[in-house]
Structure 1
């Protein structure tokens, strides 16, 4: 981009980073991070406006948790307001930004509490992109504020009918307050000249909740039954999950049968090349990749997880639903 993203400043004594200066998309300095010479954790952050004036600072504990101590805002170069938590800052911002009857869409659960507790009578529309359930099928802590205060919510926007049904079963929310707007994609015509490969494919984030290790164990059993179809994995690595997969592939001696690729800009083409796509997530908000795969004629073998696959896959016709974690 020819725009400097950040500069790191190293201590000539400790040989470690002591500051990072971050620049915005226009090359303007907007943030400085200061690091502890002992723990190497961030201990202080400064935020600057486009004219170089400081408008906010954050202080952090110099320990393993690296917890926030306080946030200080500035006005005309002088300390103005102090907040103990980010949520207090968010609530103050909302109360000064919004007016009565403003329509506010919120799709981040972190912001539910400050939004619903702020004093302006705004029309709050909460958008759910993911499952509200824990692994034990109880309500996730991050969704409790949203679901336990329906009197402060004008409308909930969900992706699936099944999630609406689950929420109505455990709350006293008026059904008319919940609307379903599923994801959609434009119809895509399969291309006849695409090379058909003898392979299965997974396309998605290489993340823990995607449970790609389940695919590897199932695929291992598949090969032991005498089949030879290959497996391709496409996705962006998250928190070192790819290395764990590579280690498991070596343990199961699957190196000759599986290839792991990075992010693909053309998932529809990769789906179209494949015999079937696979999904073994522990949860989904909708499962957009399921719809993309079926859209180009690639059937999907998926865990019947909440939410999405059962509303997209017609079992035995365009794919197969498997009980979760089987």
Structure 2
């Protein structure tokens, strides 16, 4: 049985909004829920500057979907930044220094439930590094006047976290483990000086640019992050392949560990012989990186009589994909089903799961398909498929080879014995990503981090 070290655990995300950010939101909420079920004392924290009523709706929707047990477990900086009497909360006011807004910048007011301004945030447009600004954030009094300023988002986030940590340790004196789920937040916290706090940083996506080979250019948004990665007490990579590529390229600083995102297996697996023998499913956002057009072309090229392709998901590419289906004249067999809350039902009815992504962090949809015993036919990309299918459960096809994908799809759809074998292998493969082993890996990393001194220099703020 997994036992987390005795500590407070904070899962920190930039935002958690139903229907946004794809697998990131699902994985972050699932991790916190699984940690709690494994005995960890956790809270979810976000820094989304949305309206209080919007945050109430988000919490309620996550509870409705079974992704959050109680609304109060999801805390937000700006919800806690207001004083009931108006103006900023005491911890926020205490973090200010004398000053005023930068007259060259536009500002956006964040208000409390009564519509009163709490803070005015600088609006930095057209700059992917907006989060690094030290432009003054204006803290407002009850009458709207300025109390003072805080030097940028990093200082604001650290002030709130200091307040949250102090509150927890005031209840029970124990160390704090912060699991940072966001690259932007990680950069801002890499120099956070807080006693008895360990900072673990998760990774949800690839760090590479096309062509996504091990030596491909690093995504510019990640280049700076790698310069501060050794300040984290651990970095949690979702696959061994990505961890190994990073260590090979950047060296090992002792912080790199593998902790995949877990997928809860179904109570029972629908036998592959009881499913529609020609039904193929794609699950994911209709975004350019998913290359769903190649899935459609591969399915058409497989030319399996009676087969169907159901595509679950929504996004910017929907119109173009529907146009492709119409141009190919395959509307009777290929259907864009839209987003669904019943992914499990779609996988239980399918004989093959098909994926044509250009890149992934881990590939949660693939992991879920395997847990349902659905054979996979996928491109061999960085990262995820090769790690997950190393023991079987699907067919890896050279990345981008649509003809080979068509052939593999036809082979699996045309051979019931192959589907039986792959389905059985898939369930075994998915067991490595069940909550129990994943939480055991996370607890071990937390224990190692707590056994060492924090890696962040006390001289850095």
TM norm structure 2? 0.54
Greater share of helix: 2
Q: Please tell me whether residue 128 in structure 1 is matched to residue 203 in structure 2.
A: yes
Work out which structure has the larger RCO, using CA pairs closer than 8 Å and 6 or more positions apart in sequence: 2
Give the superposed CA RMSD: 3.3
SS at match of 2:190: helix
Match of 2:119 among 56, 63, 70: 56
2:307 paired residue among 222, 229, 246: 229
Question: How far did 1:196 drift?
Answer: 1.9
- The structure with more strand, counted as a fraction of residues: 1
Cα pair distance change 1:266/1:135, threshold 3 Å: same
Quote how far apart the aligned CAs of 1:165 are: 0.3
1:80 matches 2:80: no
Q: Deviations over 1:53-101 (max 9, x none)?
A: 321124548x999x99864222444213446754454355556665797
1:110 equivalent in structure 2: 184
CA contact (8 A) 2:178 2:199 kept: yes
In 2, Cα distance between equivalents of 1:64 and 1:286: 30
SS at match of 1:310: helix
Aligned pair in 2 of structure 1 residues 241, 83: CA closer, same or farther (>3 Å)?
Answer: farther
Shift of 1:241: 1.5
Moved more, 125-134 or 137-146: 137-146
CA 1:90–1:289: 2 relative to 1, 3 Å: same
User: Which residue number corresponds to residue 204 of structure 1?
Assistant: 284
SS in 1 for 2:199: strand
Compute the displacement of 1:142 (Å).
2.5
CA distance change for structure 1 residues 91 and 187 in 2, over 3 Å: closer, same or farther?
closer
- Partner Cα separation in structure 2 for residue 149 and residue 24 of structure 1: 34
How far is 1:111 from its partner?
Answer: 0.9
Give the direction of change, closer, same or farther, for the CA distance of 1:22–1:124 in structure 2 (3 Å limit): closer
* Residue number in structure 2 paired with 1:158: 237
- 1:182 aligned to 2:260? yes
Superposition deviation, residue 130 in structure 1: 1.5
**Aligned counterpart for 2:217 among listed residues 138, 153, 163:** 138
- The Cα shift of 1:194 comes to 5.1
Match of 1:216 in 2: 296
Q: Distance in 2 between matches of 1:309 and 1:83?
A: 45
| 1:324 match | 399
Please say if 1:191 is aligned against 2:270: yes
* Native 8 Å contact 2:296 2:334 kept in 1: no
Cα distance between partner residues in 2 of 1:241 and 1:196: 27
Structure 2 distance, partners of 1:285, 1:248, is: 28
Distance 1:181 1:110, change over 3 A: same
Q: 1:199-245 deviations in whole A, cap 9, x for unaligned?
A: 2110122222111111122223223xx6442111111x22x221111
Mapped to 2, the partners of 1:64 and 1:276 lie a distance apart of 42
Q: Residues 270 and 373 of structure 2 are in contact (CA less than 8 Å); yes or no, is this contact kept in structure 1?
A: no
Q: Which runs of 5+ in 2 are unaligned?
A: 1-50, 58-78, 80-105, 170-174, 402-461
In structure 2, what is the equivalent of residue 170 of structure 1? 249
Cα distance in 2 for residues equivalent to 1:89 and 1:325: 45
Q: What are the equivalent positions in structure 2 for 1:288-299 lying under 5 Å apart?
A: 288-299=364-375
- What corresponds to 2:331 in structure 1? 255
Aligned partners of 1:70, 1:152: CA distance in 2, in Å?
A: 26
Aligned counterpart in structure 2 of residue 278 of structure 1, from 347, 351, 354: 354
- Normalised to the residue count of structure 1, the TM-score between the two structures is 0.74
Q: Deviations over 1:92-141 (max 9, x none)?
A: 55566657974322110111221113344642211112212222423222
Classify 1:25/1:117 alpha carbon distance in 2 versus 1 (closer, same or farther; 3 Å). Answer: closer
Q: Which runs of 5+ in 1 are unaligned?
A: 1-20, 31-42
- Give the paired residue count: 285
